[in-house]
């Protein structure tokens, strides 16, 4: 018996920490960002047994999958009737602000349930519910699960897991729109800090919340659609500066390197913009205007790699829960 899930990651451009609630499903963040068509592939295989779990591949740790397994067993006790092998494969580097722990948790929940041939809508809802709880148990991403569930370019109006059914989910509220926007994802190839280093620190939490609420205020007014793209990009640059995250961890230097690569690839005209991913030492390069062609991506990737940065071309994903 086998099941597979390919779930896209997520880039947060603006966020405000909202983690005071006792209920994990009510914790999260307001914010904005975009789902990616690159993320995590999880393949699950089962044979009759007693609930043993073996994890293979490039997962940063086994803890995430073991928590998903534990949470899923509460919904589906027959999970324990089998021994499981979980193979985890990252398409982007972990701990760099690409939402890979959220994507990995969702993908693990989906792959196991698909192995058991659980009806797809129920499997999706459970996977989102469980992944949100697991992320909060690990002090990981606050809004990545809700954002990946929404897909596209999202605006998270209220924190928490979105309501999924009568029994599943929480009070989270998310709007989204989709356009297949070409992007280039950029990261330092050195190690980065875990999200918890920021959101568990009182001073960072206050600074991020104040900057996030200020930047989100205007975005929450009016219709959320593709006409808000330039406003989102302007507000995300403002958020990075106001929060203090811009000058932390050498992020200014990263943006300078990206600027040099854009000039080197013939794109110093302002048609492409770079925005920091929160909370990695990473960024996305996006077109200033949409719709946009994708003919610029490869040349930009090559110029970034010449500067010893990790880089790959990608697109905004409409359904990040079910990539091919």
Do 44 and 178 meet the contact criterion of CB atoms below 8 Å apart? no
pLDDT over 70 percentage in the chain: 97
Predicted local distance difference test score (pLDDT) of residue 191:
60
Give 48 or 246, the one with higher predicted confidence: 48
Q: Say if residue 206 is in the same domain as residue 159.
A: no
Q: Say if residue 159 is in the same domain as residue 98.
A: yes
Q: Say if residue 110 is in the same domain as residue 204.
A: no
Do 2 and 43 meet the contact criterion of CB atoms below 8 Å apart? yes
Predicted local distance difference test score (pLDDT) of residue 155:
98
User: Which CATH number fits the domain that encloses residue 227?
Assistant: 3.30.70
Q: Report yes or no on 222 lying in a domain.
A: yes
Question: Which of 177, 202, 231 is at the close of a domain?
Answer: 177
pLDDT digits (tens, 9 = 90+) for 229-265: 999 999 999 999 999 888 886 788 999 999 999 999 9
Q: Please state, in angstroms and rounded to a whole number, the distance separating the CA atoms of residues 185 and 48.
A: 41
233-to-34, 220, 239, 317 alpha-carbon distances in Å: 12, 14, 10, 18
pLDDT digits (tens, 9 = 90+) for 148-204: 999 999 999 999 999 999 899 999 999 999 999 999 999 998 765 555 567 667 788
SS3 assignment, position 313: strand
Do 221 and 157 meet the contact criterion of CB atoms below 8 Å apart? no
Predicted local distance difference test score (pLDDT) of residue 141:
74
Q: Where are any strands of DSSP class E within the chain?
A: 2-18, 28-48, 53-57, 82-90, 153-158, 173-177, 182-188, 272-276, 282-287, 309-315
Q: Say if residue 165 is in the same domain as residue 17.
A: yes
User: Which CATH number fits the domain that encloses residue 49?
Assistant: 3.30.230.10
Q: Say if residue 118 is in the same domain as residue 16.
A: yes
Question: Quick one: tokens of 197?
Answer: 């280093």
pLDDT digits (tens, 9 = 90+) for 119-133: 999 999 999 999 999
Q: Say if residue 149 is in the same domain as residue 286.
A: no
Predicted local distance difference test score (pLDDT) of residue 310:
96
Q: Report yes or no on 210 lying in a domain.
A: yes
pTM of the model: 0.95
pLDDT digits (tens, 9 = 90+) for 34-43: 999 999 999 9
Q: Say if residue 104 is in the same domain as residue 25.
A: yes
Helices 202-219 and 229-243, packing angle to 10 deg: 160
Give 50 or 198, the one with higher predicted confidence: 50
Predicted local distance difference test score (pLDDT) of residue 19:
85
Predicted local distance difference test score (pLDDT) of residue 61:
80
pLDDT digits (tens, 9 = 90+) for 105-117: 999 999 999 999 9
Q: Say if residue 75 is in the same domain as residue 207.
A: no
Do 176 and 153 meet the contact criterion of CB atoms below 8 Å apart? yes
Question: Which of 152, 177, 202 is at the close of a domain?
Answer: 177
Tell me the residue range of the domain where 87 lies: 2-177
Q: Say if residue 141 is in the same domain as residue 39.
A: yes
Give 192 or 13, the one with higher predicted confidence: 13
Q: Say if residue 280 is in the same domain as residue 209.
A: yes
Chain centre distance of CA 237: 19
Q: 66-70, 131-135, 150-154, 204-208: which range is least confident on average? A: 204-208
When divided into structural domains, the chain yields a total of 2
CB-based burial, 52-75: b 16+ in 10 Å, e otherwise: ebebeeebeeeebbebbbebbeeb
Q: Say if residue 170 is in the same domain as residue 198.
A: no
Q: Report yes or no on 320 lying in a domain.
A: no
Q: Report yes or no on 160 lying in a domain.
A: yes
* Average pLDDT of the residues of the chain: 93
Predicted local distance difference test score (pLDDT) of residue 117:
97
Question: Which of 177, 204, 234 is at the close of a domain?
Answer: 177
Q: Report yes or no on 322 lying in a domain.
A: no
Q: Report yes or no on 16 lying in a domain.
A: yes
Q: Say if residue 98 is in the same domain as residue 80.
A: yes
Q: Report yes or no on 323 lying in a domain.
A: no
- CA-wise closest residue to 135 among 148, 153, 118: 148
Looking at residues 44-66, what average pLDDT do you find?
A: 93
Q: Report yes or no on 191 lying in a domain.
A: yes
Looking at residues 210-230, what average pLDDT do you find?
A: 94
Predicted local distance difference test score (pLDDT) of residue 269:
93
Element (H, E) at 204: helix 202-219
């Amino acid at each position: 018996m086998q099941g597979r899930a390919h779930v896209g990651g997520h880039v947060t451009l603006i966020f405000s920490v909202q983690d005071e609630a006792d209920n994990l499903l009510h914790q999260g963040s307001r914010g904005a960002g975009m789902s990616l068509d690159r993320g995590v592939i999880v393949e699950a295989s089962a044979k009759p047994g007693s609930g043993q779990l073996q994890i293979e591949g490039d997962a940063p740790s086994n803890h995430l999958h073991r928590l998903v397994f534990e949470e899923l067993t509460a919904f589906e006790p027959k999970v324990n009737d089998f021994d499981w092998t979980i193979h985890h494969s990252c398409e982007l580097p972990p701990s760099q602000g690409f939402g890979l722990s959220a994507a990995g948790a969702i993908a693990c929940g989906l792959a196991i349930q698909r192995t058991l041939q659980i009806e797809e809508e129920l499997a999706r809802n459970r996977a989102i519910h469980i992944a949100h709880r697991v992320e909060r148990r690990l002090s990981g991403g606050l809004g990545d699960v809700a954002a990946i569930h929404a897909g596209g370019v999202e605006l998270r109006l209220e924190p928490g897991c979105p309501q999924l059914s009568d029994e599943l989910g929480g009070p989270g509220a998310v709007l989204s729109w989709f356009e297949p926007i070409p992007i280039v994802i950029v990261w330092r190839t050195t190690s980065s800090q875990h999200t918890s280093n920021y959101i568990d620190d009182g001073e960072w939490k206050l600074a991020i919340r104040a900057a996030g609420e200020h930047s989100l205020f205007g975005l929450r007014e009016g219709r959320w659609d593709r006409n808000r793209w330039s406003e989102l990009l302007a507000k995300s640059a403002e958020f990075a500066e106001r929060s203090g995250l811009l000058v932390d961890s050498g992020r200014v230097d990263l943006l300078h390197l990206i600027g040099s690569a854009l000039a080197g690839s013939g794109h110093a005209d302002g048609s492409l913009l770079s925005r920091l991913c929160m909370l990695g030492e990473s960024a996305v390069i996006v077109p200033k205007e949409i719709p946009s062609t994708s003919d610029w991506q490869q040349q930009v990737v090559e110029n970034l790699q010449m500067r010893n940065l990790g880089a790959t071309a990608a697109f905004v994903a409409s359904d990040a829960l079910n990539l091919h």
